[in-house]
Structure 1
Amino acid sequence: MLFFYIGLSAGQIAELKLKEVKTVLIKKIFNYISELAKSRIFVISAFFTILFALLIYKVFVLQVIEGENYLESFTYRIQKETELPSSRGAIYDRNGKLLAYNRLANSVIIEDSSLLDTNASRNAMIHQLIQLIEASNYEAVYNIPIQVYEDGTLEFTASGNTLLRFIRNVYGKDNIDQLSEEQKNATVEEVFDYMCNGDDTTSMFGIDDSYTTEEALKIAAIRYELYMKRYEQYLSVTVASDVNDTLVAKIKENTAELPGVSIEQDYVRQYEDSKYFSNVTGYCGEISEDELTAFQLAGEDSYASGDIVGKTGLEQSFEEELHGVKGSQTVYVDSLGSVLEVAERVESSPGNNLYLTIDKDYQMQAYNLLEEEIAGIILQKLSTSGEGRIEINDVYYAFIKNGIIDLDQLEEKTASDLEKTVYETYSSQESGKFEIIRYLLDGTNQNSYNGCSEEEREYIDLIENIIISSGILDTTKLSSDDEIYQQWDSGNTSFYQYLHYAIGRDAVSVDALDISNSFLDSNEIYTALLDYILRDLEENRSFSKIVYKSMLDQGMINGTQICLLLYEQNVFEKDDQYENLLTGNLDPYAFVYDKILNLEITPDMLALDPCSGSLVATDPKTGEVLALVSYPNYDANRIGDGDYYTSLLENESLPLYNRAMLQKTAPGSTFKMITAAAGLEEGVITPETYITDLIEFDKVVPSPSCWSTQVGHGSIEVTDAIKESCNYFFYEVGFLLGIDSTGYYNSEYGIQRLRKYMALFGLDRESGIELEESPPTMSDMDSVRSAIGQARNSYTPSQIARYITTLASKGDLYNLSILDKLTDPNEQLIQDYAPEIVEHVDFKASTWNSIFNGMYKVIGNSSFNSVFADLDIEVAGKSGTAQENALRPDHGLFVCFAPYDNPEITVTVVLPYGYGSYNSGSVAKNMLSYVFHENTATDGKRQAANVEGVTVSD
């Protein structure tokens, strides 16, 4: 090698050596790679290197080259299970006319959205949604039992187990027993604060102080609904129902800002001419927790929170038949909740249809006749001079007392000048009235209750009601044997003394007064009680109304102002009468008279005596109910409106009370046909038995008298006794029924025999009508007075109607029914509800003839002749009068059937506090006139009836 480098310079030698080294290195690298390529590691490494290069390339294409195209076509998809609502079955009258049905309507729906991941964002979205809803004059769902007042104070609107269940839900417990004592007794403020802020373990809804108390409550109400469905994925909450297209458009325009909110179509229950039928159909509403629990215990697992169920009437009693079967569907939705694809769908099934025996036209006409007659009675009794039974000031005050004039509106900042003037007058009087109350309660006034003025007695009555209803005064701890109790009961001691007596008897609850110190003497307890009373009265509307009544009586406000307030508060639209009232050209009495005459002011608005009535019409051949009317009634379509429902609760004419089925009165002389039957069938009289009316029936003590107190009815037999409604005759029959085997009068024996015939006419049981009904009360004492329908006899109009139906059919005792048939959605018959004949009453022909002839003479030869004179069919009837309260008018009853020789219809009319039976007879006659004269209703504008003011003694 050295020889090889001879003759080369040092640089050349270095260059050659470098090349030599490189060659060696290259050979080594090549050999290394050659060896590596033969190994497994190289193959694996190369494979993953290629894959990684491809992945980088693909990502580059997706994000850079095709990024925009893929972004536009990308869709967020999530699977969602939803329920499909079912349509509730319809309700029809006997002729197939719709009374209740379902219609599709838009609802605002909300469910939890993953796009809202904080409480703050959820609350802000819900607050925005509520504002949109309220701006369109709708109300967002609000089912929590907490109320907020204008000053921001809170109050529970539920109590007992209902409140405890709500508290249980708020604190997330499975049952009430898991609540601590502190939680059970939590104040409304503590519960609300927990809902907003939670505790150390949970933030709950996280509603911060940026919202007002009212706003926070509304947000909490919706959060609570969602909270209750937190374990049921994708179940939504209906926030507002039956909304218009304007709100729908607003929701859709703001979809991006309202994640989880959507518009869905749902079924809304609709009632035709509802005010005539709501006592029969009832109404529907959202299922309560108690109802849901009851359904689940009964094995009805298809019901869920938020479902609509029947609450009253047929809607409730036929819930199972009317309620449909919900469907379901599986869908894919995008991030905004829009449906992309329906993967699976099971259709819902509508409920069954219910047909009634009631004739819609009869029902509506009967309702109108009652309203017209009652209005006519009010006009006939209306007076400005004290000559009538209804003073005009009573009418003015009725507008305030019955809530037609909204006292809260007088206090609003937006109140009109007149409203402000009236309220300022009230404010100037309020403090003085509190002084009167202090005077009544601080011991200064030792006047007995009877010695107080009418206004003072009203304050005392109100205070007593407050402390009893609030649980402060427990009257069960007072003994009726105590002297002071007896004095108070008779009005002969002062309220101050009575309350001190109650404290001494431990009847005043210290706990209810919320007194922390339980070791107080009676004077300290009384001071705490007085403080409670005064605090309560400051916010008590009933107290305010008494003050307004006093202002009216003293002339501090007048009739013109009251009438003008009706316009200011939009009870009436402003018209010429408004201008004439304003200028003094129209007397307020004349204004009120005209409004009542034209039924713009209706009896239910006034809640004076009379303000209510019932009419039941039946077919005696079948036992079917043709009309079942309770006046006043309500609009079931508006029952979900909180303000409207509150007005119904506060209306003293009780529109929610089904009088035809629930209100019991003594039957009075309408009962006398039963006594006649008992006497004739038991053989104590015959059709030819004459009894001389001696006016005073002195065979029993105390001795009752016949209504004809001057000359009596002379010697009279059973037919004329029914016609004249001779009390003395029927006293004698009741007495004779009580003559036992010893030959002496035994009232218990007499009432036993009389009750046998009450039962034969069905008065020992409910009528059979498929609605809630008060149980009848058959008299169990004094066969003499019971014989004229007094003593303890007390029945509903429905029960009296059943008795008259049995009478008109000569003995067929039916279970009355308002049901005709049940069909499936395709109108295939499921069940035919034919009324059932319970038994047949088999009397002698002479008994039926005597009773029928007597009832026939009532129409043709008595005070009622003029009422029925223009009716060209023969009618049999009987009037009845019952006194319940000596300070109020008598109840008026009338029963009849027609045609006389072949009855097709019975009519029973009851007018509570209706000034006797003549007015009831007028309603019955007008109903028969409608039925038998081509069913022609009065055309044009309706008016109050022209009431003659005739008094019938019976």
Structure 2
Amino acid sequence: MIKKIINFISDLTKSRIFVIGAFFAFLFILLVHRVFVLQVIEGENYLESFTYRIQKETELPSSRGTIYDRNGKILAYNRLANSITIEDSSLLKTNAEKNEMIFRLLQLIEGSGYEAIYNIPIRLYEDGTMEFTVSGNSLLRFIRNVYGKDNIDQLSEEQKSVTVEELFDYMCHGDDDTSMFGIDDSYSTEDALKIAAVRYELFMKRYEQYLSVTITSDVSDTLVAKIKENTAELPGVTVEQDYVRQYENSKYFSNITGYCGEISEDELEEFRLSGNDSYTSGDIIGKTGLEKSFENELHGEKGKQTVYVDSLGSILEVAERVDSSPGNNLYLTIDKDYQIQAYNLLEEEIAGILLQKLSSSGEGRIDMNDVYAALIKNGIIDLEHMKDKGASELEQSIYALYQSQESSRFETIRHLLDGTNMNSYNACSEEEREYIELIENIITNNGILDTSRLSSDDETSQLWTTGNTSLYEYLHYAIGKDAIQVSALEISDTFLDSNQIYAALTDFILLELDGNNSFSKIVYSAMLSQGMISGQQVCLLLYEQGVLEKDADYDNLLNNVVDAYAFMYNKIKNLEITPDMLALDPCSGSLVATDPKTGEVLALVSYPSYDANRIGDANYFASLLENESLPLYNRAMLQKTAPGSTFKMITAAAGLEEGVITPDSYITDMIVFDKVGIPVSCWSTQYSHGSIEITDAIKESCNYFFYEVGYRLGIDSNGYYNSEYGIQRLRKYMALFGLDRTSGIELDEAEPNMSDMDPVLSAIGQARNSYTPSQLARYITAVASRGDLYKLSILNKLTDSNEQTIQEYSPEIIDHINFKESTWDSIFNGMYKVIGNSSFLSVFSGLDVEVAGKSGTAQENALRPDHGLFVSFAPYDDPQITVTVVLPYGYGSYNSGSVAKNMLSYVFHQNEATDGKRQAANVDGSTVSD
């Protein structure tokens, strides 16, 4: 038996079936072993790593360099911040899944005290009603986006007239086929709108799905932790860490530091054309100020990493990483304390001038109704809030009154457009003029009116410029000159005759005016001037809208214990209502302080200013653009004015150095100078300054004396007066003092304008002389240093992130003015005597340090107050600082001199800055000789 079994096995092993069976048995054992290893021995490891993997390259942001003042005090720095972003995820297939995920995300965000993005123009009220928050073309553009059209003209009439409820239903309700986002009825109307807002942002990026949408920014670590804990339920949602630019005491320094913002397509292209391809869409760059001019130094270098992520966006593995490099640090010559003090002094002085003009009964008096109207025109009163159903009873009553007037005011505009009112601009009422100016701004700013196509030589163009033609005639003229850009009107048919173009233009204008805030301001202001709104109501609105916090003054105003005049006067005095909020004359000023021994700029102030930390807030930025005091305008570097009598030291130098006068020359003031051209008078038309020499001429600011010097500069070798010869000689000395070029300060600066005509008028700083405060500051620095002409600078040094110096900056002496000592002595003595002049003696009394200065008054608009200027340096015998003050439309130089004195008092520690409540300066309205 055993033998038979052995023989059977022997025969079997010799067969082909055995070989094949043994082979498959081996394979089966090998398979079982491999499965055992994979599932049992290494199963846990493979389970953890077995997931969806995709390679993704990400950028690592760099930290922008810090900006410091001269003493190492921080002005601008970067801080880390977290943002919550979302992008379309392939894991979410249906609308219901997407909506559920977004709702869960919104709950986490709002539960942590943050607000999510909400950019759709639909407002929901507590009673469940809704309304659009925009109108006119803005509304049509939103409707166009929702319906996915390329332009407004493609919308049907039914779509154009869609109600807010109908559009809400289209966006939210219904199934996936009949609704835009398929948000079912299980969500409240409020939640549905919030979900739709997020879906709308994603929808607008549907052709750029690689771009994420930021839901909320600068969030806490607590919210970040919640997001990460719920990662599995929030596909497409990520936490991105980036740097936020922070500015210390921003309003005092924003004209210097500038601000940062997201790079535009044009800026991106500029960098690429310059060979710099390190920037990408979404990067933050310097937009203005030093942030812009030192972008390359401050920006730093981004890092990058290659990672593997799963379907939820979680990082599985970092394959490669290159760390970012922080930007360099910039130290300035600016003294932070000087800058803050100078800004406050300007504000206090300007407020004091306003109060003096409010209480004055003389020339230039400001009517209190103009103050009330300014609060409306300058956007301090929020007219949009008046429409809100949550508005107060006072707001609602005033808005109801406005609504009763709105249609008639629109009819006024229609008559201007359809030719019913053919009055020229000059013949129109003040209100009609404001409508015409608004219409011109609308079509210009929207790129519809291209004025470059209109020749200034054309009769109609000249009539329009002088206000002697009607709006109707001007617009038809513009169409005839192809100056109306049809494409900007968003109409598909570009083959239109002139009447069709005018009809389309009229429709566009009327749509833009519907709900236009500027139009509303004109109407409200007209209602105020006509007594339909009272000053008390305007003052109460300041409390109703949170501009002022309710206090005892509110109760007194409400109960008629104080009238509106006394109330407003007190609020201006206490700087609760500041000059920039009113934008009346004056509302602005500049102060530049330099060290005459080094050419360093110690303070560079432009009032008013803005908070660069809030520049990314669309509403805040819009308010800055709306503010007629122009807070974004760097007046210290860009606003040119005639220098007035501050120029007379140049004329004195020219006369002395050219030998047309000597320090001992006496000229008798005849009051009226009539040797050439149209007779001109000295500033003192009632009495003569008598026979005076150069130092007293500077002290008294005797125009006649300097007219005569300008005249003598024009006497040629043949003894004849030659205006061209005279102005050339005078311009030589303007150039010696640097007025032929910009100051050198490392910011955008307007080009100076040296007068090229009439040496007689130019000699007193008039004619075509026009300079910025920075340029006047460089000139007075050269005076104080007895001839060192610096290229002024606000830069101290550049260091790396480890504080190792990369580059040191120092103001460059570009020339030295070699005058006779007697010339410098005459100028110094004259400026010293100015402070002893009876006009300024009271201003500078009590100041122990000896000061040299010169005032200046310049009239450039007969309908507005004179500019006030003052240049100075101290101590007189060893100048350590110069102070230049310019108050545009500041009612003369007395007030500018007061600011300069108070600044010098602070610098020399005789008037320390107070931590107490600030008030407007006590302005007595004195006048001075210039």
Residues 123 and 207 of structure 1 are in contact (CA less than 8 Å); yes or no, is this contact kept in structure 2? Answer: no
C-alpha distance after superposition, 1:502-521 (max 9, x if no partner) = 55666556665567778877
- Contact residue 88 and residue 202 of structure 2 kept, 8 A: no
Aligned partner of 1:309 in structure 2 is 285
User: 1:97 is matched with which residue?
Assistant: 73
Is structure 2 residue 819 aligned with structure 1 residue 859?
A: no
Structure 2 match to 1:375: 351
Tell me, yes or no, if structure 1 residue 562 matches structure 2 residue 538.
yes
* Pairwise CA distance, 1:373: 0.7
CA 478–658 in structure 1, closer or farther in 2 if over 3 Å, else same: closer
CA contact (8 A) 1:383 1:391 kept: no
1:588 alignment counterpart = 564
- Partners of 1:369 and 1:718 in 2: CA distance: 33
Give the number of aligned pairs: 890
Question: 1:587 offset after TM fit, Å?
Answer: 1.8
Structure 2 partner of 1:428 = 404
What amino acid sits opposite 2:618 in the alignment? G
Matched, 1:943 2:915: no
1:150 to 128, 133, 136: 133
Instruction: Evaluate the alpha carbon distance shift between residue 384 and residue 912 of structure 1 in structure 2; reply closer, same or farther with a 3 A threshold.
Output: closer
Q: Give deviations 1:677-718, integer Å, cap 9, x for gaps.
A: 111111111111222222222122222222111223222221
Moved more, 505-514 or 827-836: 505-514
> Which residue, 182, 186, 192 being the options, matches 1:210?
182
Alpha-carbon deviation of 1:221?
3.8
In the alignment, which of 778, 787, 794 is matched to residue 818 of structure 1? Answer: 794
The question of whether the paired residues in 1 share the 8 Å contact of 2:181 and 2:199 is answered with no
1:858 Cα deviation from its structure 2 partner: 0.7
Report the counterpart of residue 395 of structure 1 in structure 2.
Answer: 371
Alignment of 1:288-687 (within 5 A): 288-329=264-305, 336-339=312-315, 345-383=321-359, 389-475=365-451, 486-499=462-475, 529-687=505-663
**Aligned in 2, Cα 1:253/1:394: closer, same or farther, shift over 3 Å?**
farther
Distance in 2 between residues matched to 1:188 and 1:611, nearest whole Å: 47
Tell me the equivalent position of 1:694: 670
Kindly state the Cα deviation for residue 782 of structure 1 after the two structures are TM-superposed. 1.5
Equivalent residue number for residue 764 of structure 1: 740
Offset at residue 112 of structure 1 (A): 6.3
Taking the aligned partners of 1:215 and 1:331, their CA distance within structure 2 comes to 31
Q: 454-463 vs 421-430, which deviates more?
A: 454-463
- Deviations 1:121-176 (CA, angstroms, capped at 9, x unpaired): 56764576467557767566799999996368774999xxxxxxxx9xxx9xxxxx
Deviates more, 1:805-814 or 1:100-109: 100-109
How far apart in 2 are the matches of 1:844 and 1:756? 16
Structure 1 residue matching 2:813: 3-state secondary structure: strand
Would you say the 8 A contact 2:831–2:852 is kept in 1? yes
User: Could you tell me which residue of structure 1 aligns to residue 233 of structure 2?
Assistant: 257
- Structure 1 residues 338, 810: closer, same or farther in 2, change over 3 A? same
Q: Specify the code of the residue in structure 1 equivalent to 2:897.
A: G
CA distance in 1, matches of 2:707, 2:383: 53
Q: C-alpha deviations, 1:360-416, integer Å up to 9, x for none?
A: 100010011011111111111125989762221111122211111111111122222
In the aligned structure 2, how far is the partner of 1:712 from the partner of 1:835?
A: 44
Secondary structure at 2:789 match in 1? strand
> How much does 1:809 deviate?
0.3
What are structure 1's unaligned runs of at least 5 residues?
1-22, 159-166, 172-181, 194-205
Task: Kindly indicate whether the alpha-carbon contact (under 8 Å) linking 1:222 and 1:239 is maintained by their aligned counterparts in 2.
Answer: no
- Counterpart-to-counterpart distance in 1, 2:304 and 2:832: 63
By how many angstroms is 1:282 displaced? 1.2
The answer (yes or no) to whether the contact 1:88–1:350 under 8 Å persists in 2 is yes
Structure 1 residues 525 and 646, CA gap change in structure 2 (3 angstroms): closer
Counterpart of 1:87? 63
Distance 2:252 2:17 in 1: 92
- Could you tell me how far apart the structure 2 residues matched to 1:340 and 1:896 are? 67
C-alpha RMSD over aligned residues: 3.9
Given that 1:724 and 1:862 are in contact with CA atoms closer than 8 Å, whether structure 2 keeps it comes out as no
Q: Which moves more between the two structures, 842-851 or 716-725?
A: 716-725
**Equivalent pair of 2:669/2:690 in contact (CA under 8 Å):** yes
User: 1:748 and 1:57, CA in 2 relative to 1: closer, same or farther beyond 3 A?
Assistant: same
Counterpart in the other structure of 1:176: none
Asked if the contact 1:146/1:157 (under 8 Å) is kept, the reply is: no
CA offset at residue 340 of structure 1? 5.7
C-alpha distance in 2 between matches for 1:500 and 1:73:
74
Q: In the alignment, residue 427 of structure 1 is paired with which amino acid?
A: Q
Q: 1:131 to 1:623 in 2, by over 3 A?
A: farther
The one-letter code sitting in structure 1 at the alignment partner of 2:24 is F
Which residue of structure 2 aligns with residue 276 of structure 1?
252
- Distance in 1 between residues matched to 2:527 and 2:213, nearest whole Å: 49
- Paired with 1:253 and 1:155, the residues of 2 have a C-alpha distance of 40
Pairing of 1:666-745 with structure 2 (within 5 A): 666-745=642-721
When structure 1 is superposed on structure 2, of 278-287 and 476-485 the one drifting more is 476-485
User: How far 1:942 moved relative to its partner?
Assistant: 0.8
CA distance in 1, matches of 2:13, 2:121: 81
Give me the whole-angstrom Cα distance separating, in 2, the residues matched to 1:153 and 1:521: 24
- Return the alpha-carbon distance in structure 2 between the equivalents of residues 668 and 551 of structure 1: 40
**Secondary structure of the corresponding residue to residue 547 of structure 1:** helix
Q: 2:894 aligns with which of 918, 928, 938?
A: 918
SS class of match (2:567): helix
Query: Which has the larger displacement, 707-716 or 771-780?
Result: 707-716
- Counterpart Cα distance in 1 of 2:502 and 2:778: 54
Q: Give, in whole Å, the separation in 2 of the partners of 1:383 and 1:579.
A: 24
Question: Structure 1 residues 420 and 731 mapped into 2: Cα distance closer, same or farther (>3 Å)?
Answer: same
AA of the residue aligned to 1:629: V
Q: Give the whole-Å Cα distance in 1 for the aligned partners of 2:202 and 2:260.
A: 21
Q: Residue 69 of structure 1: CA displacement?
A: 7.2
Deviates more, 1:391-400 or 1:65-74: 65-74
Q: Does 1:792 align with 2:764?
A: no
Distance 2:795 2:69 in 1: 9
Larger Rg: 1
Counterpart of 1:199? none
User: Structure 2: how far apart are the matches of 1:789 and 1:134?
Assistant: 61
Q: Secondary structure at the match of 1:268?
A: strand
| CA distance in structure 2 between the partners assigned to 1:769 and 1:421 by the alignment | 53
Identity %: 74
SS of the counterpart of 1:880?
strand
Distance 1:365 1:793 in 2: 30
Aligned residue identity for 1:639: I
Label 1:616 to 1:393 Cα distance change in 2 as closer, same or farther (>3 A): same
Give 5+ residue unaligned stretches, structure 2: 124-130, 161-177, 184-191
- The aligned counterpart of 2:167 is none
Q: TM-score, normalised by structure 1?
A: 0.85
The secondary structure found in structure 2 opposite 1:863 is helix
Residue aligned with 2:566, SS: helix
Report if the CA contact (8 A) 1:814-1:839 is conserved: yes
Residue 568 of structure 1, CA deviation: 1.7
Are the counterparts in 2 of residues 285 and 311 from structure 1 also a CA contact under 8 Å?
yes
For 1:901, the equivalent position in structure 2 comes to 877
Alignment check: 8 A CA contact 1:620 1:904 kept = yes
TM-score if structure 2 supplies the norm length? 0.87
Matched-pair contact (CA < 8 Å) for 2:88–2:209: no
Query: How far apart are residue 902 of structure 1 and its match?
Result: 0.5
Q: Distance in 2 between matches of 1:715 and 1:188?
A: 81
